[in-house]
Amino acid sequence: MKKIIIDVDTGIDDAMAISYAVHSPAVHVCGVTTTFGNITVEEATRNTLQVLELIGAADIPVYQGASKPLVREVTAKARLFHGENGLGNVVLPAPVGSAQAQNAVQFLISTIKENPHEITLVTVGSMTNLALAIMAAPEIVSLVERVVVMGGAVTVPGNRTPVAEANICADPEAASYIFQSGIPLTLVGLDVTMQTLLTREHLVQWRARDTKLSHFFADMCDVYMDAYVTVGNVRGCGLHDPLAVGVVIDPSFVRTVPMHVEVDTSGGPSDARTIGDRREHPEKAPNVEVCLEVDSERFVSHFLKYVM
């Protein structure tokens, strides 16, 4: 069983990623760290605690992390997609538990050092916590098993700007720093996540199950899908964050290509773009395994089996 930490900005698809990971027998969730992105870090912590309590996993510790990017101000949140509260405006009971006293960055450092080559970190929000952890303890670069990042768009358009994806936009300097750090990285970007869609038919099936959890997920995803329609995608919503967890559970869900990837931090029109050198003879050595193909049918059916 692989030991994972999930770094979240919970968020509708973050909530599904947490539930998928917790219910999957292939991974053990050692802890969940929170960051800003879709919403504030305080809201992400609250939502994470609520989701863990709802799925009966309140024993998994939650650690609150960064509230703002490394150098910039916090940019626009994703309330159009994730609702005012981040969970599609579905109201859950206030959390009984609270976050641990230890900060997310300290938790990442100590857990990676205490479990050399065993921890896979899955980041599905801004990448600030990991950047701060590497700055404080560079040795974790060679001690972590792998970092799987939901972020970026190497071969397809962005979703926050014409060329940039939301998690990279949330803190481009953090992403850029991590990409240059030498840490083993797998990039699960919009290249593949926009091919793994949850549809209205899936929500009908969830409602037919008639459990507290199935209604929660269906209600939340209704809001998410409405937002996708608003921006022109009528077929369903992307399973972004769950696919990052899926790649840890079964790497054969995707085909990856080693590539040199840089993050644009210019502040110009291509700010936060993940630029992959796809030339036949790139000048620099690969620093990222980029997911370019996904077996969406196999992944979506695995996700549906374990999400609740």
Minimum CB–partner distance for residue 43 and ligand BDR (Å): 13
Minimum CB–partner distance for residue 124 and ligand BDR (Å): 5
Name residue 47's amino acid. N
How far is it, in rounded angstroms, from Cα 23 to Cα 202?
Answer: 18
Q: Would residue 202 show up in a list of annotated catalytic residues for this protein?
A: no
Q: Which residues make up the interface to ligand BDR (CB under 6 A)?
A: 11, 13-14, 38, 78, 81, 124, 150, 159, 165-167, 240-241
Minimum CB–partner distance for residue 125 and Ca ion (Å): 5
**Binds 152, which of ligand BDR, Ca ion, none (CB < 5 to 8 A, cut-off by type)?**
none
**Binds 225, which of Ca ion, ligand BDR, none (CB < 5 to 8 A, cut-off by type)?**
none
Lay out the site mask for Ca ion across 218-257 (x = CB under 5 A, - = otherwise): -----------------------x----------------
Minimum CB–partner distance for residue 158 and ligand BDR (Å): 8
Minimum CB–partner distance for residue 217 and ligand BDR (Å): 15
Say which residue the tokens 């703002």 belong to.
68
| Catalytic hit among 9, 14, 171, 241 | 9
**Residue list 46-65, contact with Ca ion (CB under 5 A):** none
# residues contacting Ca ion (CB under 5 A) = 6
Binding test (CB under 5 A) with Ca ion, winner from 6, 124, 147, 192: 124
| Cβ distance to Ca ion smaller for residue 65 or 125 | 125
| Catalytic hit among 14, 191, 202, 240 | 240
Q: Would residue 9 show up in a list of annotated catalytic residues for this protein?
A: yes
**Residues acting as catalytic residues:** 9, 240
- In the complex, the residues that contact Ca ion under the rule CB under 5 A are 9, 11, 14, 124-125, 241
